[in-house]
Structure 1
């Protein structure tokens, strides 16, 4: 549970102009469907994807891969799709107990560490990276809803990077009111941002084939196959999210045993971006059959 911070209530209806991007405050998204699929992964191997100050959340012996796709239809920066691939995590130098971080999220600073975050539009890349430190980049994305399935495909350079689909739950009445935290690496810093969600959702927890996640031939995420991704634990559908992106962010230096030879991606990847809301062509690479 969460309460909307007083500072957000106080500036509701006012405006901001950041890096040339105009915002009516607070920064919200409404009337936007979303899917989420959760898969077990090898928790020990997940550590290789995380900085030292972030630990994999453990569900018994397994870690969790979280794939979330939101079809943003009403936002201050126009329409776009956001395709998040992350590992459930806690923030701290020591591993947290099993299961408990899912119940006591504030105590264990529970969230997800984002591995990849393609979006549809250039303006979304500019705002997400430059303001909140999210590692966004443009990708070829879609979001499809049928009577039975919700799916999203992610291509780059005409090749399949990943594909996710879930079986649509029959009912979507479970209330969800939560502060969700994203951890990302950018500029040699660990960045943390929050979104305040107040929604209703449906979930499938039982039965086979409730969700699937396919890693394609594009080289970008081939290394994720090392995570030993298992059969889906949960498939979640939110018919219409209502989210407020918190203006408060936190950051910490990423520390290394030796000085990195390669400079981490920084503001040079943001400064020349424009405000275009145009999308790349839709994905059309073939998806392997079940």
Structure 2
């Protein structure tokens, strides 16, 4: 039998001594940024083959860059990672097949037609400070970012988690909050989130120093080829707020092409036989 009383309780008033009066509530709401994560995205055989390819291309990687929002100049400030621009029809097909479900989960309504992809490697001290992906896409409010993870088993590195920051609305503006969602860089998993979200890669360690023990990713930016209009996108309120904040991180000068040398490729149409959908509610 329960040790709690079964009779309805009489409400007890909390005195102003216990809870002093206040003339206003918090004016700074914190909004969680949506993410969508898949496990076993490519499958064991494809993932292992892709990892072997990344390790074999060690000599082709070079230092990744960031763009100064004011000057548009590329530098390595706030970032320590190696990159290699790549394209893959197989990976693009997997992206296209899952995008309808991803957009449903994220509440995303934009038309997405192309992607830009970098193969990245983070070793000892690898990191990427807090940033948005506004420099990678034309309309940051309608684009998505995706990070697909690869590594050896057992994992040869430590750290390297992705942090996706919540939004803080304050004094009519928007900025990253102190709170965040942490995503572990698990092999053969992928995470999607709005390209306007503030995020970072925390520092990694690689005790062996071997390239094969690095944290590898396929980092992709997915967007439309046409400017956003009311007819091809209905941005959510949180999407509008994120875009407004992210625009402050976009270089003022027009910058083309991609500062790490990646090029956009068209996304194929989702396959009608493999297209993922949400389960039907019962």
TM-score class normalised by the smaller sequence: under 0.3
Q: Which has the larger radius of gyration?
A: 2
> TM-score normalised to the size of structure 2?
0.26
Greater RCO (CA < 8 Å, at least 6 residues apart):
2
> TM-score normalised to the size of structure 1?
0.25
Q: Which has the higher strand share?
A: 1
